[in-house]
Amino acid sequence: MHEMSICESLVQTIEAHARSDDFTKVLRLRLEIGCFGGVEIEALRFGFDVVTRGTCAEGAELDILSLPGKAWCFGCDTGFDTDSRVSDCPVCGSGRIRVTGGDELRIKDMEVI
Amino acid sequence: MIEIETNILAKNDGYAQENRHRLEAASILALNLVSSPGSGKTTLLVETIRKLEGRIPVAVIEGDQQTTNDADRIRATGVRALQINTGKGCHLDAHMVGHAIDHLAPDEQSVLFIENVGNLVCPAAFDLGEAAKVAILSVTEGEDKPLKYPDMFAAAKLMILNKTDLLPHLDFDIEACEANARRVNPDIAVIRLSARTGEGMDAWIDWIRAQQVVGLERLISDAEARLADLRAARSHV
Ligand SMILES: Nc1nc2c(ncn2[C@@H]2O[C@H](COP(=O)(O)OP(=O)(O)O)[C@@H](O)[C@H]2O)c(=O)[nH]1
Ligand SMILES: [Mg+2]
Ligand SMILES: [Zn+2]
Ligand SMILES: [Zn+2]
Ligand SMILES: [Zn+2]
């Protein structure tokens, strides 16, 4: 499952920070996940619980901030939020749009001790 | 509280950048082939190698969860191939690919094909350092695949519609499929192809050559800029 390897990358990044920023336990972790990040939030939570066992992030509270998809319309030169890669422009109805954002898979911040 | 603001896949992206620099410096064109299982990636590679008849040196990295069959099929053509067994892993990552490049040591100006694990989901998120992703969709799959897996078709530079020899037996709407791909990615190139009959193979080879030219042009303009800098420096001595 895809979310499992995302969680493994997440734990590697956290552990690298634990060494460089000198902490031993993560209490709370905030992630920013874009709507085109290709990640199921529930599967990510499940993977997080499994993968963090025995690491400094075990038991950490996981906050997931969902970021909207962003798109640009070529019909009327406007930007808008969307949750689909194939939506029509809400202003002029044109289907000639380009997705410009929403694929974020980011660690925002963490509370550590 | 510590602010991190880093990409979760930062480690992979770092390895991918390393791969990309190495490959570009040696003007090796790396193409990451992605599809569902059975769309015809290995068959297409075998036919592509035959068609190239050694005119362009080729090396192949095969990603598979367990077997080595695909690498064996490639080696039977006389081309160097390395199998990466990902086990439970459902995609190749840039670290694995970096080691595979070390082992294979592809020639300068060659084409490196990377056959990803058959899966249209996660290979979209894992940059390998390739020049382009090529999505292969066979006409035995649904024409709505680009809408079901939009992240992958958005990430691909080319979509190959394979197994067109079977079209007469199916009610696959090829125009609708192409329209769906262009809705998620207005820039995507499309080639209709049959690895079995050879239809469309010339267009595919032409596309590969065009990508090689793009890579070489970039190296040439970098080299020219460097030369201009050196000349300017000399004239100021
Ligand atoms: N009819 C037809 N069958 C094809 C074509 N290309 C591949 N196949 C068949 O599709 C099956 C899967 O092909 P393979 O190359 O192993 O797919 P992969 O899993 O994407 O590497 C094999 O039985 C191939 O012979 C094609 O162009 N036409
Ligand atoms: Mg294969
Ligand atoms: Zn508009
Ligand atoms: Zn995967
Ligand atoms: Zn290594």
Domain map (residue ranges) of chain B: 10-164+172-236
Rounded distance between C-alpha atoms, residue A4 and residue B52, angstroms: 39
Question: pLDDT, tens digit, for every residue of A50-89?
Answer: 999 999 999 999 999 999 999 999 999 999 999 999 999 9
For B150-181, give one letter per residue: b (16+ CB within 10 A) or e.
bbbbbbbbbbbbbbbeeeeeeebeeeebbebb
Whole-angstrom CA distances from B104 to B58, B60, B118, B164, B216 are 11, 8, 22, 33, 22
From CA A99, how far away is CA A69, in angstroms rounded?
Answer: 7
Nearest to A13 among B10, B89, B122 (CB): B10
Distance, C-alpha B43 to centroid of its chain:
15
Contacts of B12 in chain A (CB under 8 A): 9
| A37 in B contact zone (CB under 8 Å) | yes
pLDDT tens string B52-70 = 988 999 999 999 877 778 9
Which letter does DSSP use for residue B70 in this model?
Answer: H
CA distance A51 to A6: 10
Closest CA to A12 of A107, A92, A104: A107
Element (H, E) at A96: none
Residues of chain A found within 8 Å of residue B89, distances taken between Cβ atoms: 5
**What is the distance in angstroms between the Cα of A17 and the nearest Cα belonging to chain B?**
9
pLDDT score recorded for residue A1: 62
Nearest to B5 among A37, A106, A112 (CB): A106
- Residue among B8, B154, B113 nearest A99 (CA): B154
How far apart, in whole angstroms, are the C-alpha atoms of residue A14 and residue A23?
A: 10
A107 C-alpha to ligand 2 centroid (Å): 35
Which of A85, A96, A99 would best serve as a mutation to test chain B binding (most B beta carbons within 10 A)?
A85
Which ligand sits closest to the CA of B123? Answer: 4
Number of CB atoms found within 10 A of residue B133's CB: 23
**How much is the pLDDT for B58?**
97
Residue whose Cα lies nearest atom 13 of ligand 1: it is B40
Closest atom of ligand 1 to CA, residue B39: 20
Give the CATH H-level superfamily of domain B10-164+172-236: P-loop containing nucleotide triphosphate hydrolases (3.40.50.300)
Closest to B177 in 3D by CA, of B202, B207, B153, B210: B153
Residues of A in contact with B179 (CB under 8 A): none
Measured CA to CA in angstroms, residue B152 lies from A9, A22, B50, B63, B112 at distances of: 20, 38, 28, 17, 20
Return phi, psi of residue B97, to 5°: -70, -35
Ligand 1 atom, smallest distance to B115 CA = 21
- Helix axis angle, A2-20 to A41-51, nearest 10°: 50
Does any ligand 1 atom lie closer than 6 A to the CB of residue B195?
yes
CA-CA distances (angstroms) from residue A15 to A55, A58, B69, B166?
8, 12, 37, 51
Which of A87, A26, A107, A53 has the alpha carbon at shortest distance from B184?
Answer: A87
Q: Looking at beta carbons, which residues of chain B come within 8 Å of A37?
A: 125
Complex ipTM, two decimals? 0.86
B162-203 tens-digit pLDDT: 999 999 999 999 999 999 999 999 999 999 999 999 999 999
Q: Is the pLDDT of residue B28 over 70?
A: yes
Interchain CB contact of A62 with B (< 8 Å)? no
pLDDT averaged over every residue in chain B: 95
Cβ atoms of residues B218 and B24 within 8 Å = yes
CATH of A3-112 given 3.20.20.80, 3.40.800.10, 3.30.2320.80, 3.40.50.300: 3.30.2320.80
| pLDDT recorded at residue A38 | 87
pLDDT in tens, A2-38: 888 899 999 999 999 999 999 999 999 999 999 999 8
For A27, the closest chain B residue by CA position comes to B1
Q: Verify whether the Cβ–Cβ distance B184 to A21 is below 8 Å.
A: no
* pLDDT tens by residue, B114-139: 999 999 988 999 999 999 999 999 99
Chain A residue with Cα closest to B7 = A106
pLDDT at B29: 98
